Amino acid sequence: MTSSLSLNTGNLSLTAVVESQEPLLRPAEIFPDWREEHLQSGSPWLAPPFYDAQQGKLVIAVQSFVIRTEGLTVLVDTCVGDRKQRARGEFNDQSWQWLNKLSAAGVAPEDVDLVVCTHLHVDHTGWNTKLSGGRWVPTFPNARYLFSQKEFDYWRSDDGAKALTRTGDYMTDSVLPVIESGQAQLVAPSHSIAPHIRMEEAAGHTPGHSILHLEDGARRAILASDLMHHPLQIENPDWSTRFCENPAKARAARAQFICDHAGSDTLILPSHFPAPTAGKLTREGEGFGFCFCTGW
């Protein structure tokens, strides 16, 4: 699959470029609040294409988003990457050929003006760099890379170094070469990128975790990054993941976000929701739902 979603408002377009979309994690691996009785709950999110019953795993997408607006090509997040040595077997030494998928979406590495990492986790930074002559070098030679200063400082701290042991040290091969090349710009987690694009801090999952607002007149979309990893968290907003640096903050940010946007016409695109990824938050009695759609 090259891309699962393509939107166009006139002043901006957005295309998803999928690296992988497959059963990846058992519910208990990602959600500390998961109990086996949830399998009997009748949730629609525990059926294909969101859950693989044979493997007992949730389907998780890993993808990037290409935004084109007013002559600017913006790449949001860069997936896991190929040939990266990782502690997690699912990510180790892979060959997903994501660059070919990006090319099929009409984008060459030289075309990218700006790379935005919503946060510095292993599955959002991998294609920041590629292997060339035995060295990891920036994949996008003409791009500025936006990293949150708060995020970068955390991953360079002792606490961040401890957290890296779960996946392997992707900072050394996927972030530091960009810093060394001089292409990185360290910004606040809330930052204006272009007339139709702005970052907003949504800390908790990581200290500098950001989401992106896209606005063109009445049309609005939000790249929600890792506020939610799976639609189960729409039914259960209080579920934070085992990967959240501050689960309480992540829970509060998610609950506020869902309350703010449920019932609105804003398209929500969480990074890891399977295709078609985009949808609208709905109110379902005293709870919430998510209705997938491919346009406004």
* CA distances for 213 relative to 47, 162, 197, 224, angstroms: 30, 32, 6, 9
For domain 6-292, say whether CATH 3.60.15.10 is its number.
yes
> What is the reported pLDDT for 2?
40
pLDDT one-digit tens code per residue, 155-188: 999 999 999 999 999 999 999 999 999 999 999 9
| CA dist., res. 166 & res. 168, Å (int) | 6
Instruction: List the Cα angle 177/178/184 in 5-degree steps.
Output: 150
Residue matched to tokens 């993941």? 241
Domain ranges of the chain: 6-292
* CA distances for 128 relative to 35, 95, 143, 225, angstroms: 37, 15, 10, 17
276 with 292: CB under 8 angstroms? yes
> What is the reported pLDDT for 4?
58
Q: What residues of the chain score a pLDDT lower than 70?
A: 1-4
> What is the reported pLDDT for 225?
98
pTM: 0.96
Instruction: List the Cα angle 12/208/216 in 5-degree steps.
Output: 15
Q: Long-range CB contacts (< 8 A, 24+ apart) of 279-284? A: 281/234
